[in-house]
Amino acid sequence: MIINTITTIEEFNKIIETDDAALFYFSHEQCNVCKVLKPKVADLLESDFPKINMYFADTVLSPEIAGQNSVFAVPTMLVFFGGREYIRKSRNIGLHELEDALQRPYELIFQQT
């Protein structure tokens, strides 16, 4: 899965407007837990939730994106469906917990007929 890096508020807002589903991963270089968790989240999305696009925002290099979204701890993940925030997970994040949280809204929005 390709993880796009965003650096401006304008990029963030455009993604919210255009993507049906987006996961924003907030972190920075000094966070070792974040470095381990990020590829696991990408793998989860690729295997189980392929229609969710993943984006990375560095809280040190782009503090305005973190500030606009009230992100004060890393790692933090925000998941948007249809331009609305549905899920916010921060600090101690389990992959099974994230998977369970994503399952229902994902199925409702991208239900196969």
Nearest one of 17, 20, 16, 10 to 62, comparing CA atoms? 10
Strands 84-90 and 76-81, sheet pairing? antiparallel
Report the pLDDT value the prediction gives residue 112, as an integer from 0 to 100: 60
Question: How many domains does the chain divide into?
Answer: 1
pLDDT tens, per residue, the chain with 113 residues? 789 999 999 999 999 999 999 999 999 999 999 999 999 999 999 999 999 999 999 999 999 999 999 999 999 999 999 999 999 999 888 899 999 999 999 999 998 64
Report the pLDDT value the prediction gives residue 48, as an integer from 0 to 100: 95
Residue 75 domain boundaries: 3-109
How many angstroms separate the most distant Cα atoms in the chain?
45
Report the pLDDT value the prediction gives residue 47, as an integer from 0 to 100: 96
Report the pLDDT value the prediction gives residue 113, as an integer from 0 to 100: 42
Which spans in the chain are helix H?
A: 9-18, 32-48, 63-68, 95-109
Domain at 63, CATH number:
3.40.30.10
Q: Is there a contact between 21 and 27 (Cβ–Cβ < 8 Å)?
A: no
